[in-house]
Structure 1
Amino acid sequence: MDKRFQVQFVNTAENELLRDAIARWGISRRALTAIKFNGGAIFVNGEEKNVRQRLAAGDVVTILFPLEEASEGLVAQHGALSVVYEDEALLVVDKPAFMSSIPSREHPDGSIANFVYGYFEQQQLASTVHIVTRLDRDTSGLMIIAKHRHIHHLMSGQQKKGCIHREYEAIAEGSILKDQQSIIAPIGRKDTSIIEREVREDGQFAHTDVTVLARNNELTHIRLKLHTGRTHQIRVHMAYIGHPLAGDELYGGSRSLLNRQALHCRFIQFEHPITKERMQFESKLPKEMTTLIY
């Protein structure tokens, strides 16, 4: 059985060069080079062809990508992985708090990437791990993971165009008076830290919408919609308006009620990179967050 990842298209244009059709279908030049020189193949109606082939309307084009090699140093681990959705192209997983998205010097194993690689190994899937939407270690919720470099390329294109829609829920300190507001403030790295970010004039444009769901005198349950994807955007913006997230010590929050930032990716929506179907998934707010305010 051929383990190479493949995609298939039905051509709609008459007398089009295969090379041009491939570009129109979103396959990058880098991927095309790998197909040509690293063990991939292109078939038209079941016969192997090169990119100079001219296509007729109705031709079926099958593209086989080279086998992938795992990222150097990534160790396969088997264990807790909450899979919300899976098909031949991608995974949607629900990440618990206190689990990194990828290994780091401080946390060299036990990450989502380690467990996904172990999951792929069990499936005998010839792929490395391509994380599309990353979450901070202490943030919980939904993540998208591509099963192949080409799928990652397509999903990254959606991200750049703002077509992957994510909503978060959080518990912020203090009682936020406005039911709805938009925070538009540029974010950049703090001069005294390699990790911490701040609102600063020379930062990158950042836009967050905030909706209040419930409040008391001490805390506010909020829903947040990101229009941009800056590092620590929600945490920085909430601290900027004087309402840091509960548990977020890095940005001024207190850990007296929760020992991590009270932030959860609860909703994600995107266009499937192959079928073009609009897909959406939801994840319930963790109990340790709901009990803070309800």
Structure 2
Amino acid sequence: MHMEKIDYQIREEESGERIDRLVAGIDESWSRSQVQQWIKDGHITVNGESIKANYKCSPNDLIVIEVPEPEPLDVEPEEMELDIYYEDQDVLVVNKPRGMVVHPAPGHFSGTLVNGLMAHCKDLSGINGVLRPGIVHRIDKDTSGLLMVAKNDISHEKLVQQLVDKTVTRKYFAIVHGVIPHDHGTIDAPIGRDPVERQSMAVSDKGKSAVTHFTVLERLEPYTFVECVLETGRTHQIRVHMKYIGHPLVGDPKYGPRNTLSTDGQVLHAGILGFQHPRTGEYMEFNASLPDYFTELLHRLRQNH
């Protein structure tokens, strides 16, 4: 059984927190009950000792988490309508609707994009394990748009390398709060887990480097329609960066203001995706037009404007 091992050192501000709660906040795909089971099974130790789920953490405690490999039986292929933009023996490009989770996680074992992909094609790269076959990069549940999927391990490695080398084109469209005065801008601010809200990300000195370029497409006071280009791909990057500059995404339940337009989540669409084909090296670019929810909102804002 293959286990991923994670070391985590308790910081001053985390002291006194229950270990099951703290560990469940490290990765948003881990549930608290799952973490409690790992503690029972001895997969989590503190300073080399076994503990109980109600153990209160002290500063500088060293937590070692052995993440057990998920059971391979959990993910079932499911027939679903997929909006496939391109497919060959190596790679597939799919336009994900908003509201769909990309890959299974506790609480979401069916209805995910992976379930649909498994029914659609029998061959997906196995690099990311049984829960994430073929998945090279993700977009959030309520973000719509284009994803590339690897159909074999060589393609997977080459596509991931392009993400690392920052040669993949990823353009997103969003509607944000406030009127952005400049036409263009670059947000270069590292992103890491929010130390207080463990399920959220935040700009933090301890984070990983993150760069987003934005262009204003239209000002619809008191909102702005923007295009964002990702140079890096951190979790929730555009949502965190736009909030950081004081222009959070409309409808964002996690990073937006309480008083926002009622949409089903953030108004964010991964509209343009470009990469070099992993086998031929040819550059390919795909463009998924704005979905209905997005164009209807734009129309409404233009009328009000």
TM-score interval, normalised by the smaller of the two chains: 0.7 to 0.9
- Hey, what's the Cα distance between the residues in 2 that align with 1:106 and 1:247? 23
Contact 1:257 1:292 in 2 (8 A): no
Contact 2:74 2:109 in 1 (8 A): no
Confirm or deny that 1:98 pairs with 2:99: yes
- Hey, what's the Cα distance between the residues in 2 that align with 1:109 and 1:117? 11
Contact 2:211 2:232 in 1 (8 A): yes
- Hey, what's the Cα distance between the residues in 2 that align with 1:126 and 1:188? 30
- Hey, what's the Cα distance between the residues in 2 that align with 1:285 and 1:71? 36
Corresponding residue to 2:291 among 268, 271, 286: 286
**Residue pairs, 1:29-40, within 5 angstroms:** none
In structure 1, the residue matched to 2:252 is 248
Confirm or deny that 1:80 pairs with 2:76: no
**Residue pairs, 1:36-115, within 5 angstroms:** 71-115=72-116
How far residue 223 of structure 1 moved from its aligned partner, in angstroms, is 0.2
How far residue 169 of structure 1 moved from its aligned partner, in angstroms, is 0.4
Runs of at least 4 residues of structure 1 off by over 6 A? none
Contact 1:220 1:293 in 2 (8 A): no
Corresponding residue to 2:241 among 226, 233, 237: 237
1:95 and 1:172, CA in 2 relative to 1: closer, same or farther beyond 3 A? same
How far residue 127 of structure 1 moved from its aligned partner, in angstroms, is 6.1
How far residue 106 of structure 1 moved from its aligned partner, in angstroms, is 2.5
Contact 1:76 1:115 in 2 (8 A): yes
Contact 1:131 1:144 in 2 (8 A): yes
In structure 2, the residue matched to 1:224 is 228
* RMSD value, Cα: 1.7
- Hey, what's the Cα distance between the residues in 2 that align with 1:83 and 1:252? 31
In structure 2, the residue matched to 1:194 is 198
Confirm or deny that 1:211 pairs with 2:215: yes
3-state secondary structure, aligned to 1:178: coil
Which string of whole-angstrom CA distances, capped at 9 and with x for unpartnered residues, describes residues 133-178 of structure 1? 2111110000000111221111111111111111100010111111
Contact 2:176 2:223 in 1 (8 A): yes
1:136 and 1:273, CA in 2 relative to 1: closer, same or farther beyond 3 A? same
State the one-letter code of the partner of 2:200. E
In structure 2, the residue matched to 1:20 is none
Identity of aligned residues (%): 39
Which string of whole-angstrom CA distances, capped at 9 and with x for unpartnered residues, describes residues 62-113 of structure 1? xxxxxxxx95421100012111000011100000000000012122210110
Contact 2:124 2:134 in 1 (8 A): no
Contact 2:124 2:150 in 1 (8 A): no
Contact 2:172 2:227 in 1 (8 A): yes
1:217 and 1:151, CA in 2 relative to 1: closer, same or farther beyond 3 A? same
Contact 1:180 1:211 in 2 (8 A): yes
Which string of whole-angstrom CA distances, capped at 9 and with x for unpartnered residues, describes residues 263-294 of structure 1? 10000111001011110000011121122233
TM-score (norm 1): 0.72
**Residue pairs, 1:98-177, within 5 angstroms:** 98-121=99-122, 125=123, 129-177=133-181
- Hey, what's the Cα distance between the residues in 2 that align with 1:208 and 1:279? 22
TM-score (norm 2): 0.69
Contact 2:85 2:93 in 1 (8 A): yes
Where does structure 1 lack aligned partners over 5 or more consecutive residues?
Answer: 1-69
- Hey, what's the Cα distance between the residues in 2 that align with 1:205 and 1:196? 17
